[in-house]
Each structure stands twice: as structure tokens, then as C-alpha cells.
């Protein structure tokens, strides 16, 4: 299996621009998670989906952030407009385990976002 695939790996954008991050989960996984990692706050859960339906988006920082999962093999995280404080590594992860036991969450390589 190819694992969780994210794109782009690196993006540098100007403040105010729209940013779209993409994720392809592992085939057959019913759960998809978006995490954000910064030095100050560590790994934070932004939102997660089950069978393409958003279950909990309480971690989304503000209305500038939105996420969609139009089908089982694709999800996007969009930031519009972007701000310098959004600079972080954004990880997508997927899981097949309803119980969220840690050994079944697989992370992508991350999208490194820099907003200048």
C-alpha cells in the first residue's frame, strides 16, 4: 500500500492567498484526520471524518479554515485567507479502527506551509 499521500509537500504563499492541502487516505480506511503541528502547540487535531462525514471540527481554529471529504479517497483542507500564524506542518492521517487505538493511525509525510 502507498500509505497516506499528501500534497503539496512544501508551500510558500503570501498572506491573504488561498491555500489548499490535499490528502489521499489508505484505501479501506474509514477515518481521516487532519492534524497541525507547530513548535508551540505540538500536534493538534483540527478535524476528523468518518465515512466521508465530518464528525468533530472543534479543533478548526477559525472560519478561515475549512475541510471537505467528497469521497473515500480524497480530502482537502483549505485556508482562506491565509495568515503568517498559519505557518505549520499539516498532517493527514487515516485509520480503520473505530476505537482509535493508537496502533492503527497512519500519518502522511505532511504539508509544510509557510505564509509570508
Partner 1 sequence: GQSLEQPSEVTAVEGAIVQINCTYQTSGFYGLSWYQQHDGGAPTFLSYNALDGLEETGRFSSFLSRSDSYGYLLLQELQMKDSASYFCASYSGNTPLVFGKGTRLSVIA
Which residue's CB is nearer to partner 1, number 55 or number 116? 55
Q: Supply the minimum distance, in Å, between the C-beta of residue 112 and partner 1.
A: 8
How far is residue 60 from each of residues 3, 65, 88, 93, measured CA to CA in Å?
A: 25, 6, 14, 16
Q: Which of 78, 90, 91, 80 is nearest to 15 (CA)?
A: 80
Nearer to partner 1, 48 or 65 (CB): 48
List residues near partner 1 by CB under 8 A. 31, 33, 41-43, 45, 48, 56, 91, 99-103, 105-110
Q: Tell me how far, at minimum, the Cβ of 37 lies from partner 1, in Å.
A: 9
Residue 18 CB, shortest distance to partner 1, in Å, is 25
Residue 109, class by beta-carbon neighbours within 10 Å (0-12 exposed, 13-18 middle, 19+ buried)?
A: middle
Amino acid at each position: 500500500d502507498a500509505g497516506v499521500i499528501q500534497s503539496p509537500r512544501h508551500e510558500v504563499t503570501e498572506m491573504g492567498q488561498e491555500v489548499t492541502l490535499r490528502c489521499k487516505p489508505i484505501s479501506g480506511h474509514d477515518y481521516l484526520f487532519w492534524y497541525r503541528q507547530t513548535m508551540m502547540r505540538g500536534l493538534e487535531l483540527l478535524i476528523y471524518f468518518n465515512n466521508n462525514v465530518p464528525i468533530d471540527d472543534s479543533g478548526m481554529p477559525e472560519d478561515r479554515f475549512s475541510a471537505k471529504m467528497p469521497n473515500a479517497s480524497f480530502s482537502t483542507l483549505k485556508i482562506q485567507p491565509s495568515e503568517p500564524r498559519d505557518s505549520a506542518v499539516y498532517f493527514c492521517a487515516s485509520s480503520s479502527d473505530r476505537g482509535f487505538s493508537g496502533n492503527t493511525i497512519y500519518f502522511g509525510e505532511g504539508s509544510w506551509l509557510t505564509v509570508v
